[in-house]
Amino acid sequence: MSDPYDGQSTNKDVPGVSGTNTAEGGIGVRGDSNAVGVWGEGKNWHGVVGASHSTSGGAGVFGSCNSGVGVFGESKLSHAVQGRSGSTNGTAGVSGEHTGAGPGIFGKSASGPAGFFEGKVTVTGDITAHDVFVAGGDCAEEFDIAETVESEPGMVMVLNQAGTLQPGQQAYDKRVAGVISGAGAYQPGVILDKRGSSEGRMPIALVGKVYCQVDAQYASIEIGDLLTTSPTPGHAMKASDPFKAFGAVVGKALSSLDAGQGLIPILIALQ
């Protein structure tokens, strides 16, 4: 077996350099230089690996600097810095903290996004942005749905005496609240009043584009027609009577339907 202290090893289980310090807070290996203190290079795997068996929050790799970067990573083909956590208590894969006025995590890109998240994002403080681009089609707000009521995206909903929502089932109903968001090709871009448990609640489109169930048996629907509630449960119809329509309009048709029932895009315009 090669000597693990001579700087070279031919055994994959024996380090080329090994340092041991049994003192409390002691350093196992230290490098001092006017340039690079410690250099690690791996041909087929990690250049530097750090592991900590501490149960009090010790770091596997720790970097500290008085004026520059504490830890710097650079890669030409993959992530420059990557963090991974297998914890089940909500511990982050990568954590950033700033004790002054600067950001905890800073991202900058010459052409792509400065930050990319695949999955849900939770923010507990304020968000400041110059421009916001939302891929969804509407701004919705969650409402309580009446118990024992069957509801689905695209349905026209009205308020009941209990203050919850149920599918509309009468013409020109002034209690109309909106359309359940999420049908067809449009998904909600923003959902207001979303709570931890959304059981018994549905997002109702208040502004923007949404797919809506309509019934053209009462009158053919053309692009630009105002829509109101209909006797068909959960369906809108053309608002042919302007006097009855006042206060009962749910939106404006963005597509036509000559006959029968269907799902068409509309522009929400409660009035």
| Res 6: pLDDT | 57
Residue scoring higher pLDDT (80 or 184): 184
Residue by residue, DSSP assigns 227-253 as: EEE-SSTT-EEE---HHHHTTTEEEEE
**Mean pLDDT over the full length of the chain:** 85
Can you tell me the distance from the alpha carbon of 26 to that of 270, in angstroms, rounded to the nearest whole number? 70
* Nearest to 146, CA basis, from 131, 168, 119: 168
Run of H or E including 189: strand 188-192
Task: Kindly list the structural domains of the chain, giving each domain's residue range(s) and its CATH number in brackets, ordered by start.
Answer: 1-133 (no CATH), 138-268 (2.40.300.10)
In sequence order, the 6+-apart residues with CB closer than 8 A to the CB of 241 are 172
Residue 176, both tokens: 């109309």
pLDDT band at 160 (very low <50, low <70, confident <90, very high): very high
192 three-state secondary structure: strand
Can you tell me the distance from the alpha carbon of 146 to that of 160, in angstroms, rounded to the nearest whole number? 8
* Nearest to 178, CA basis, from 221, 147, 210, 149: 210
| Res 20: pLDDT | 78
Residue 186 has pLDDT above 60, yes or no: yes
**Which range, of 83-87, 138-142, 185-189, averages the lowest pLDDT?**
83-87
* Nearest to 246, CA basis, from 173, 178, 157, 179: 173
* Tens digits of residue pLDDT in 56-97: 767 777 777 777 777 777 777 777 777 777 777 767 777 788
Residue 116, both tokens: 């990319």
Question: For 139, left (φ over 0), alpha (ψ -120 to 50), or beta?
Answer: beta
Question: Whole-model pTM above 0.75?
Answer: no
In sequence order, the 6+-apart residues with CB closer than 8 A to the CB of 229 are 156, 158, 168, 169, 170, 171, 172, 173, 176, 236, 237, 248, 250
Can you tell me the distance from the alpha carbon of 67 to that of 38, in angstroms, rounded to the nearest whole number? 18
Residue 239 has pLDDT above 60, yes or no: yes
CB 174 within 8 A of CB 248: yes
